[in-house]
Amino acid sequence: MKTAVVGATGMVGRTMMKVLEERNFPVTELIPAASEKSVGKEIIFKGKPVKVVSIQEAVDAKPEFAIFSAGTSVSKEWAPAFAKNGTVVIDNSSAWRMDKNVPLIVPEINSHVLKKGDRIIANPNCSTIQMVMALAPLHRKYKIKRLVVATYQSVTGTGVKAVAQMENERHGVKGEMAYAHPIDMNCFPHGGSFQPDGYTTEEQKLIDETRKILEDQAIMVTATVVRIPVVGGHSEAVNIEFEKEFNIDDVKSLISQFPGNVVYDSPSENKYPMPILSHNRDEVFVGRIRRDLSREKCLNLWIVSDNIRKGAATNAIQIAEYMLTNRIY
């Protein structure tokens, strides 16, 4: 099973290769690809050095799968080239997510929409993935009417430069700025770029992708994205208005029984999800589960997950695993 990782030297790309190892994905030949400046470098996979190649070389190798984490422009340029060669592309950028002909997949939720012949598959935004993992079983039973979301997102979501900026600030070192403002000892309501309507592109992704994955365009969503000075995972405060009445015990049961979710909710023991808990783990942690006392049929959740693992790398590998197991690649 030839498998290419495009963007192999980046934070998510390296984690993708780690997850391929951990989950024993049947890689017969790993093809790490990156920009020209990284060609010739060596990465370690399964204890052996493998040379980074150009994206064109990876295309020419005709792998069964090409897992992308190299940015929107690279995906738009190169995903069709791989697909034309018969390769299944699983893309972590926003390039294809809202294309009506491209499946947007969280395997636990909507793998049923995948079919033989799909050659480009979109991996959702990290914040969307963890949120819909908690919401999917609730939507099926109670039908979600409206969502109000505030995210508290790790600097790892921006990448290596953002982590370096935070570490530099903590140690009093002047360095390259990934953000317009200091991030250590600070937070700001800015993720992605601002649109004319005042929302950011990160907020828009939460709105559009949630509807597509849950297959319900009627869900009303409003979101505010906040960047905070942590690594380890994204956190989300989610207020949900349902069409049907719910029972809190049933809510907890539905979330905990859904594959990949962990209910971690005992406030009296100071047990609630935190980024430090989710770091380097694949589960989605849900806590602070409580009724919204200000409005009928409304629920509050606090959702935390490692944005580099389940929010990106692991979800992409799970898509490949599903296609392989069901022979639809």
Burial of residue 73 (CB within 10 Å: 0-12, 13-18, 19+) is exposed
Residue reference for tokens 């204890």: 47
What distance in Å separates the CA atoms of residue 223 and residue 245, rounded to the nearest whole number? Answer: 24
Question: What is the H or E stretch that residue 66 is in?
Answer: strand 65-68
Listed residue (283, 272, 145) closest to 210, CA to CA? 145
279 is catalytic: no
Residue reference for tokens 């903590």: 170
What distance in Å separates the CA atoms of residue 248 and residue 45, rounded to the nearest whole number? Answer: 45
End-to-end CA distance of the chain: 11
Strand partners, 51: 42
Instruction: Evaluate whether 310 touches 284 at the Cβ level (below 8 Å).
Output: yes
What distance in Å separates the CA atoms of residue 71 and residue 73, rounded to the nearest whole number? Answer: 6
126 is catalytic: yes
Taking residue 235's Cβ as centre, other Cβ atoms within 10 Å add up to 25
Of 187, 190, 234, 279, the active-site residue reads 234
Query: What ranges make up the beta strands (E) of 105-194?
Result: 120-122, 144-153
Q: What would the DSSP string read from start to end of 288-312?
A: EEEE-TTSTTEEEEEEEE-TTIIII
What distance in Å separates the CA atoms of residue 312 and residue 13, rounded to the nearest whole number? Answer: 9
Active site residues: 126, 234
